Structure 1
């Protein structure tokens, strides 16, 4: 696994560069499904304030964090040990409809605060296993030195399974916003825009520091019906698409957990 640059798209002078920016966004969405936004309106100070909220939350005692219980139906609330596979890496996740982004009525958008504890000599173990995002677009905020986000391009359809292990690292930097396409938009675009597989891993050798990240998941209103211009897939509401994928994800992770238990025994 190495490093490969993903497009960095400047939002500077947006009103006068809309067409140019639009072309760059479409090109990145078609070719790799990941890109970064720079020169945007959010300052580093504003982003740091949100990370401070996340750190304060995760530093609380466990009983305090569990006052916001996780709900399988909405994927909201505090969740511990999100990814439990053969290496048993721990992820702590909370999902919140506030405080950063405005939550529209009947909308499934989510802001997630994620925390992965520090680890020594991990042998490159999973912190968050291989997955694609359910929604349309995901905006990810990272902090300097807290690497781990790996991407594997090359997915053909929004239902394609993972096809290898050719991942590359997106270095973590404070300020730039990492954006990736989700399955919903890939289906909506008749597979034109790519929702590629990604994961979060610890370093193969030595110490991996704690990693905090913020993810804003854009999914659309529950009752909105979408279908691609070529009608490659049946029309479906955003809510149905979301809940169908949540069900599939839990079935997948349960199967992986069973395989892990069998492997250890």
Structure 2
């Protein structure tokens, strides 16, 4: 088994072929990469440049827009995965179309940040609409099932997130066996679209999950090549539930560099398509009770132990080594080994 690559060239004439490929990848692996996707190399390079410029700012400047408890804002070393009990070795800023009052970095710190970020967000969302319509058609549902459920028609209830990620350099550092750049987790959205830079690898996926909420996985971790010309996509828990578990939300992680691999920083950019606040998530077979997008996100954030804005702000003022090296708790599935 491997993570397949699906080309979107000649999309309109190849639509049925592409739907079949998307459904095969999403029911068996939960991950795929898109080539010939239509977002220009120049635009991808530009957003990575913007990301690097932001993370190069002093922590006290980034802390002006600290994580606000509503899945928006900047955090550093505060995301503790239930699968590891340790903090991810990274920092990130999460941007939305709504609920961003006071959370956009100002022009005095990074000129044009909001305009450049929002332009890219719209590009990726437009591409995601094509993919989500394909999923609806492949599942035999109305074409607008997932797009109407995620794309804000102008009422301000979008929950989509663009997350700029900066994984810290590991040069000269040593870590215990349970530390990761991002510990094993499943995304809690509809569809994730991830951009990586050439050669900055470490992403691995583990197919085998059967139902939403199940921690169980398969036994094999598959590497995903880091290529800037391809978009890595994966199904999230919302879509797995919305499809009555037909489409698989797969556990994945980002491991620390090994051997002769580069020990320097790693950058990636993820766009999370998420159900609108009042959208009802329920599959055609009604395998799960209905839940709104707002309820789903609130429960998922609590489950994943996303820290509050105040904790994020305090952590940003601590030594990175101190915060990132603390074992916060021992997960239940690791307690016997401990």
The answer to whether the 8 A contact 2:30-2:235 is kept is yes
Alignment pair present for 1:259 and 2:330 = yes
Call closer, same or farther: CA 1:91–1:242 in 2, change over 3 Å.
same
TM-score normalised by L of structure 2: 0.70
- Quick check: which one's strand share is greater? 1
Change (3 A) 1:175 1:197: same
Distance across 1 between alignment mates of 2:219 and 2:41: 34
Residue 158 of structure 1: how far off its partner (Å): 1.0
Moved over 3 A (4+): 82-89, 120-125, 162-165
Aligned to 1:101: 121
> Once the two structures are superposed, what CA deviation does each residue of 1:172-231 show, in whole Å capped at 9, x if it has no partner?
111100000000000011100000100111123344221100000001211011211111
Change beyond 3 A, Cα 1:87–1:203: farther
Partner SS, residue 205 of structure 2:
strand
Q: TM-score when scaled to structure 1?
A: 0.89
* Partners of 2:290 and 2:65 in 1: CA distance: 35
Per-residue CA distance 1:132-184 (angstroms, 9 max, x = gap): 10010000000011001110000000110144653121111111000000000
Question: Which runs of 5 or more structure 1 residues have no equivalent in the other structure?
Answer: none
State how many pairs are aligned. Answer: 254
| 2:34 and 2:232 in contact (8 A); partners too | yes
Deviating more after overlay: 100-109 vs 225-234: 100-109
Q: Is the 8 A contact 1:35 1:179 kept in 2?
A: yes
Distance 2:174 2:165 in 1: 19
| 2:192 is equivalent to residue 193 of structure 1 | no
Residue 122 of structure 1 contacts residue 202 of structure 1 at CA under 8 Å; is this kept in 2?
no
The root-mean-square deviation of aligned C-alpha atoms, in Å, is 2.2
Flag the structure with higher helix content: 2
Residue in structure 2 matching 1:215, options 267, 270, 277: 270
Gaps of 5+ in 2: 97-116, 123-150, 308-326
> Residues 208-257 of structure 1, C-alpha deviation per residue, up to 9 Å, x if partnerless?
221100000001211011211111000111111111111111189xxx71
